[in-house]
């Protein structure tokens, strides 16, 4: 009989893990939101489409490259070849030397997760609130439903949510407490047609802002100018519970000072998204967390750091470890 595995979270880490385990275990993924992809996200509305989480990703790891190869072939993953700029604290903009190519999913960042998710077993709109039962017979509970028993439960939620949810003991709890994540705000601005930015991708050194990008400059997006502005993570962390209107005004004021010619007064819409756990300030320093005796584990970008690729590697390597354990148990 195959091991049954519950995975909490359908971001890139949870999906990478589920893909690696398929064939070895009976996997069910529980995801609190309506869709998959987690922080690799797209918001669509009447004012256009905005990748409001991860802007792009690198493909340096061979396993990540292998997993993406079919999508690189069929165009679901494409290079975003816009030059990357950097605006210094003095407002000067320079074009950065080309580093690793930057990739995006097409036609929106959610396309990658959707493509992987189609072969996996999901419960969406299912927020897990409690793990009960006992080792090897874990129950996974929402407010009014209970699933299981499962041999293994694995969380791919951000570290603070994983710490609150999972019945880890020491030393895992202490290790989770050491991980620090910061919030972020993403402002999504729809400008009138024909407005051009002085750049389409720019890291910003500013006490309130960290990134300005034109979503419409990515491959196969809508042509209308859809501008993404990310807050500086430290500033966001100290304003996480401020009123959203106030945060938006603060970010708009900062944008006006650094790009005074941008016709913000004629913006057709300015929306704001709050990410409570956006980036990793202090990672775990190991690829995943595993309590083999009690059959609990956790993965996510917070293990190795801050990027889509790190999230994939964490889920994939945990999958490698679990398949070895499952094979040993079967032998």
| Chain residues in the site for ligand FAD (CB under 6 A) | 8-14, 30-33, 38-40, 53-57, 127-128, 156-158, 161, 165, 184, 186, 230, 275, 278, 300-301, 306-309, 311
As a whole number of angstroms, the distance between CA 131 and CA 329 comes to: 24
Closest CB to ligand FAD among residues 25, 153: 153
Residues near 100 by beta carbon (within 8 Å), at least 6 away in sequence = 58, 59, 60
Strands annotated E in 116-238? 122-123, 130-134, 137-141, 146-150, 152-155, 180-190, 201-204, 209-214, 226-231
Closest CB to ligand FAD among residues 125, 266: 125
Closest CB to ligand FAD among residues 90, 143: 143
Closest CB to ligand FAD among residues 150, 275: 275
Minimum separation from the CB atom of position 295 to ligand FAD (A) = 19
Minimum separation from the CB atom of position 237 to ligand FAD (A) = 12
Dihedral, CA atoms, 75, 78, 82, 83, nearest 10 degrees?
-150
The answer to whether the Cα torsion of 196, 197, 198, 202 is positive or negative is: negative
Closest CB to ligand FAD among residues 24, 275: 275
Minimum separation from the CB atom of position 43 to ligand FAD (A) = 12
Closest CB to ligand FAD among residues 121, 127: 127
Minimum separation from the CB atom of position 327 to ligand FAD (A) = 25
As a whole number of angstroms, the distance between CA 218 and CA 104 comes to: 8
Work out whether strand 77-79 and strand 103-105 pair parallel, antiparallel, or are unpaired: antiparallel
According to DSSP, the residues that pair with 209 across neighbouring strands are 231
Q: What is the per-residue DSSP string for 202-221? A: EEE--SSEEEEEEGGGSTT-
Residue bearing tokens 């009014």: 144
Tokens of 184: 């972020």
Closest CB to ligand FAD among residues 24, 80: 80
Minimum separation from the CB atom of position 331 to ligand FAD (A) = 31
As a whole number of angstroms, the distance between CA 287 and CA 102 comes to: 23
Q: Which of 4, 105, 1, 19 is nearest to 315 (CA)?
A: 19
According to DSSP, the residues that pair with 28 across neighbouring strands are 6
Minimum separation from the CB atom of position 36 to ligand FAD (A) = 7
Minimum separation from the CB atom of position 38 to ligand FAD (A) = 2
């Amino acid at each position: 009989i195959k091991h049954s595995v519950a995975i909490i979270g359908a971001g890139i880490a949870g999906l990478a893990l589920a893909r690696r385990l398929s064939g070895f275990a009976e996997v069910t993924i529980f995801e609190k939101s309506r869709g998959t992809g987690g922080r690799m996200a797209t918001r669509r509305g009447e004012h256009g489409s905005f990748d409001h989480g991860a802007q792009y990703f690198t493909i340096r790891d061979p396993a990540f490259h292998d997993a993406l190869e079919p999508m690189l072939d069929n165009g679901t993953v494409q290079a975003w070849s816009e030059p990357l700029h950097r605006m210094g604290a003095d407002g000067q903009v320079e074009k950065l030397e080309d580093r690793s190519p930057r990739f995006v999913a097409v036609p929106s960042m959610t396309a990658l997760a959707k493509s992987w998710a189609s072969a996996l077993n999901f419960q969406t709109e299912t927020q897990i609130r409690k793990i009960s039962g006992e080792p090897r017979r874990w129950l996974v509970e929402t407010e009014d439903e209970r699933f299981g028993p499962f041999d293994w439960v694995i969380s791919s939620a951000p570290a603070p949510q994983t710490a609150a949810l999972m019945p880890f003991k020491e030393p895992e709890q202490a290790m989770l407490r050491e991980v620090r994540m910061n919030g972020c705000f993403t402002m999504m601005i729809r400008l009138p047609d024909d407005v051009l930015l002085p750049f389409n991708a720019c890291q910003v050194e500013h006490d309130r802002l960290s990134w300005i990008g034109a979503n419409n400059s990515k491959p196969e997006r809508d042509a209308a100018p859809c501008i993404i502005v990310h807050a500086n993570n430290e500033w966001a962390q100290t304003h996480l519970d401020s009123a959203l209107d106030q945060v938006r005004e603060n970010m708009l004021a900062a944008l006006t000072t650094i790009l005074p010619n941008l016709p913000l007064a004629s913006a057709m819409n300015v929306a704001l998204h709050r990410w409570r756990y956006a980036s990793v300030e202090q990672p775990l320093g190991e690829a995943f967390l595993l309590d083999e005796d009690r059959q609990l584990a956790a993965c996510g970008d917070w293990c190795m750091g801050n990027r889509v690729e790190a999230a994939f590697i964490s889920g994939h390597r945990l999958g490698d470890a679990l398949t070895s354990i499952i094979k040993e148990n079967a032998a």
